[in-house]
């Protein structure tokens, strides 16, 4: 029997837009844990999850905003069919 872990979602999770595109920023952690996970999901349900975790929800959101500004939001949008051609934008 597989038991799904219980997640706590941050109130800072939500849409983030730039350059006419929007992604969903997901900030969450396992219930009882102290570190937060950051994930960015595009309109095709492709996701980018950070390897590092964050001590606070606000630190995770700051990292998401910083990454989108530095790398552009398009770098977090994958192909519509979810199949990568192996190239990172």
Structure tokens at 31: 């219930």
Q: How far apart are the first and last CA of the chain?
A: 40
How far is residue 66's CA from residue 11's CA, in Å, rounded to a whole number? 19
pLDDT (0 to 100) of residue 46: 92
Name 21's bridge partners: 18
pLDDT of residue 88: 47
Q: Which segments of the chain have a pLDDT < 50?
A: 88-89
User: Which residues pair with residue 9 across a beta bridge?
Assistant: 28
Do the Cβ atoms of 36 and 53 come closer than 8 Å?
A: yes
């Amino acid at each position: 029997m597989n038991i799904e872990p219980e997640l706590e979602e941050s109130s800072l999770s939500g849409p983030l837009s730039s350059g006419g595109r929007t992604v969903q920023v997901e900030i969450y952690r396992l219930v009882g844990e102290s570190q937060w996970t950051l994930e960015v999901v595009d309109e095709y349900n492709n996701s980018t999850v950070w390897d590092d975790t964050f001590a606070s929800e606000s630190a995770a959101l700051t990292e998401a905003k910083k990454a989108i500004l530095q790398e552009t939001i398009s770098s977090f949008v994958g192909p519509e069919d979810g199949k990568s051609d192996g190239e990172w934008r």
